[in-house]
Structure 1
Amino acid sequence: MKDHSFYQFALTARGRKDEKGELAEEIFDDLSFPRQEKDFHILSDYIEMQGNYTVSMSVFDSLYEEYTEWLKF
C-alpha cells in the first residue's frame, strides 16, 4: 500500500486530455495547495473555498476516488 499525498497522485494525472488532467494542472500551478494532505474533507474545502479552480467539484470527487484506489496498489 502506498503512502502518498493527494498532491503526489494528482501530479500523475498531469497531461491527461480530460477534466482530471485540467484539475491536476491547476493543482500543480497552485503554490498554496496543501501538498502533504490526504484527507478528503480538507482538500475538498480547500478547492471549494481557497482556490481558483475552473473544474467542477465532481471532477475532484472522481480524481480523489481514483487516488484512493491507487493507494491500494
Structure 2
Amino acid sequence: MRRQSFYRYLMSLRDPNKHDEITQFANDAFYDQGFPKQTDDYHEVSDYLEMNASYLPSMSIFDQVWQGYTDKMDN
C-alpha cells in the first residue's frame, strides 16, 4: 500500500486560527495551484518549493513538516 501524499498530510495541518510557521506553510500551500499534490518524494517537493514557493520563508520549515510526515507514515 502506498502512503498518502505529502500534500495530503500538509493539508491536515491547516488551521485558519493558528499563525505559527508550519500552519502558515500549510495554509499557503493550499492556494498554490502548482504544488505537487500527488507525490511522496522528498526531492520532488523540495525542488518545487525551492524554485516556486516564495511564501515559504525557510526550507527548515519544510524539513520539520517532512519529518512529521515520515514519522506518521512509518508508524
- Is the TM value for this pair above 0.5? yes
Which amino acid in the other structure matches residue 11 of structure 1?
M
> How far does residue 54 in structure 1 lie from its aligned partner after superposition?
3.3
**Mapped pair 1:72 → 2:74:** yes
Matches within 5 A, 1:43-62: 43-62=45-64
Larger relative CO (CA 8 A, sep 6+): 1 or 2? Answer: 1
Deviating more after overlay: 57-66 vs 44-53 = 44-53
- 5+ residue gaps in structure 2? none
* C-alpha displacement of 1:51: 2.4
Counterpart AA for 1:22: Q
Deviates more, 1:30-39 or 1:9-18: 9-18
| Cα distance in 2, alignment partners of residues 49 and 30 from structure 1 | 13
- Give the gaps of 5 or more residues in structure 1: none
1:33 aligns with 2:35: yes
| Residues 71 and 2 of structure 1: CA distance in aligned 2, closer, same or farther (over 3 Å) | farther
Deviations 1:26-61 (A, max 9, x none): 111101101001111111110010222232100000
Distance in 2 between the 1:67 and 1:52 partners? 22
Distance in structure 1 (CA, Å) of the matches to 2:56 and 2:74: 29
Question: Which residue matches 1:9?
Answer: 9
Q: CA RMSD in A?
A: 1.7
Identity of aligned residues (%): 38
